[in-house]
Structure 1
């Protein structure tokens, strides 16, 4: 059916593709392979036809297409477009279609990779710094992303497009950057900004640069990691949450299984997104977490309810796909694993259905809820630390602050009060 719809569109419009005519077939195959519906493929081909005719009118060759040309088409041509029909003019549709087109052209090697907006000097420096963070420090991708983000901002603000010369950085440059970026931020965020610069300067010190005065200039923000009380859901609130999913729909089955992994095992969003089919051992009743934050593989017992939810999703909800990821996308582009953002979005939608969207926003509160529930049932801190995969039991001690029965047992009477 998809092939028939697409072929009709291609046959009618092939002469109207302008500069894109040589790649129409490849673009069609690309869209079908990524799981787009026939009507969407047809619509995107019409968008490509409109763009191709404009490219011809502007004398832009196929191998010169880039983001700048796409931007001109959408912002300069589209508002005053008087092209003959069919010429789609919906901005959102055109943007989605043409982004797919650029991705396909790059994948086929027809146009060069996207140019880096930062200066070449900053780009090269960040590549070396990222290799250090990955290979020497062993940091997770999300952590490296934060480090690179703030270091990039600092280097661009200080050097722009000029070569990086560390001797030109003054302690005042460091201090002003951190204080300016930290204005209006939470203490933890402000501390992260300073940590990122400190990490970069230590990297340069390993390269032989005298960075001690600059490291000393990075302001430290007062932040006590275990000062706040961990928020958590009660058993009744968790029951309401897991009942909010429509398990008659494939996406509802998927999202329900995702949340069971969060509320039963205390997994992080990134860990849920990275589960592979091979990580499940149905005979032993275990789940392997191989991409945990602590950089080690962990075998966790698979609770009955969690296993039942996953089994139900695999049998009745998961689409046919070549991907080995447990949780996959149900909309194009298919054949791709869900990302942490989709996991968080599924949870946020569940909060909204429960009328608690303003109170809860992320997935980490479910991890806190697992720890609090186990603590109430008498589990030891060591057991909880093992389940949550904390490297140190000291990290788990924060949950003692909300264990009221144990706190009452050790509390001294108030001075002057009769007992």
Structure 2
């Protein structure tokens, strides 16, 4: 705070609140000092140039870092890189506070139309952010290949353009990735049809990707013993251990997806009824019963492990900035990998989905039907659940036909 209070440049009025925000995010004192020192030096440089704070951009960061080269002052690479990281962090936070203008990015008509398509998917279709980004990128790539940086006229797009784009993509992508491309392109053309820019026949011109639904991959499920070892390996005397134990129990007992764990908020726990509100794919919400051990683990984390934070997400990062996990990040996957490593478990793979598969396998072996498993896992289509029929080897033995000539 002392460095911020001595600032006299254009950042003087904002460094104090910025430092306090770093403290609220639970950065350690040494890190706050380093960030403040870089910010104060940058403030002095801006004051010397009489720079207007509203015009602050990445250009000024580059000029600031170039000052030592012009003065022929040596600086090591690590110091230069750290200086860059701290200033980028400062600029990003100032923009979030509305102090500086947002980054100016030159866009093309293709970029603008792809962005409009993304807004449509978000506000009208309700797709997940990851699906929106994948579909938007496919639409942008198709438009750039067809129109370049010039004006976009979808009325000139023909079936040959659509088929040619898919064929070019198929030369470098695997069939699963091609399915995403085809789905994204078909979704974009439907949006264009909705806007009145293309005919329905163009949507039908999108080729299908060959697939064989009768031979899906066998789910890789972690064994019940290994799952319990991973859960028991969490150190209940530390905040991180309490958090990891609660996360692993949610994965193992309720079969939640990683994104569903990340999306949980404090108000989603109904302690009176023993229920949990889960936000699944497509922004669908469902209420699940909260098993006793899951509830106890969450309560222990809230009482003794969760840091004091304004963020309403149920599970928070253990390192600064202390906040909820970002969607699309691998925070839950990291928790699973560290837990398996601590327990010295050789699991089928290191992802969090193996706990979801394990729940389905245990239910199947316990006599549950596929529709019941699909209801617990919140599958939209019975086909998604049918893959678990290949896991029950004992039930499949009764369907096997005897080999001709074998002993009766």
Fold shared, TM-score > 0.5 on shorter chain = yes
Q: Map of 1:19-418 to 2, 5 A cutoff? A: 19-55=10-46, 60-74=51-65, 76-77=66-67, 90-119=79-108, 121-212=109-200, 214-225=202-213, 227-289=216-278, 291-293=279-281, 295-334=283-322, 336-340=323-327, 341=329, 342-354=331-343, 359-418=348-407
User: Which has the higher mean CA deviation after the structures are superposed, 173-182 or 264-273?
Assistant: 173-182
Say if 2:154 and 2:198, in contact at 8 Å, map to a contact too: no
Q: CA deviation at 1:268?
A: 0.8
The 3 A distance-change label for structure 1 pair 207 and 41 is same
Q: The residue matched to 1:14 in structure 2 has which SS? A: coil
Counterpart of 1:14 in structure 2 is: 7
User: Scaled by the length of structure 2, what TM-score is found?
Assistant: 0.88
Q: CA deviation at 1:45?
A: 1.2
Post-superposition Cα deviations, 1:49-87, rounded to whole Å, max 9, x if no partner, equal 33334445666432221123334545x4566776799x9
Paired residues, number? 405
Q: The residue matched to 2:288 in structure 1 has which SS? A: strand
Cα distance in 1 for partners of 2:340, 2:170 equals 30
Say if 1:294 and 1:391, in contact at 8 Å, map to a contact too: no
Q: CA deviation at 1:205?
A: 1.3
The 3 A distance-change label for structure 1 pair 51 and 83 is farther
Q: CA deviation at 1:150?
A: 1.6
Q: The residue matched to 1:133 in structure 2 has which SS? A: helix
Say if 2:7 and 2:43, in contact at 8 Å, map to a contact too: no
Q: The residue matched to 2:259 in structure 1 has which SS? A: helix
Cα distance in 1 for partners of 2:63, 2:148 equals 26
Q: The residue matched to 1:325 in structure 2 has which SS? A: coil
Q: The residue matched to 1:231 in structure 2 has which SS? A: coil
Structure 2 unaligned segments of length 5 or more: list them: none
User: Which has the higher mean CA deviation after the structures are superposed, 170-179 or 61-70?
Assistant: 170-179
Cα distance in 2 for partners of 1:124, 1:244 equals 50
The 3 A distance-change label for structure 1 pair 286 and 162 is same
Cα distance in 2 for partners of 1:367, 1:80 equals 58
Q: The residue matched to 1:194 in structure 2 has which SS? A: helix
User: Which has the higher mean CA deviation after the structures are superposed, 192-201 or 387-396?
Assistant: 387-396
The 3 A distance-change label for structure 1 pair 391 and 30 is same
Say if 2:135 and 2:184, in contact at 8 Å, map to a contact too: yes
User: Which has the higher mean CA deviation after the structures are superposed, 379-388 or 51-60?
Assistant: 51-60
Say if 2:226 and 2:347, in contact at 8 Å, map to a contact too: no
Say if 1:47 and 1:97, in contact at 8 Å, map to a contact too: yes
Cα distance in 2 for partners of 1:348, 1:71 equals 38
Q: The residue matched to 2:281 in structure 1 has which SS? A: coil
CA RMSD of aligned residues (A): 3.0
Post-superposition Cα deviations, 1:291-311, rounded to whole Å, max 9, x if no partner, equal 211543322121222122112
User: Scaled by the length of structure 1, what TM-score is found?
Assistant: 0.86
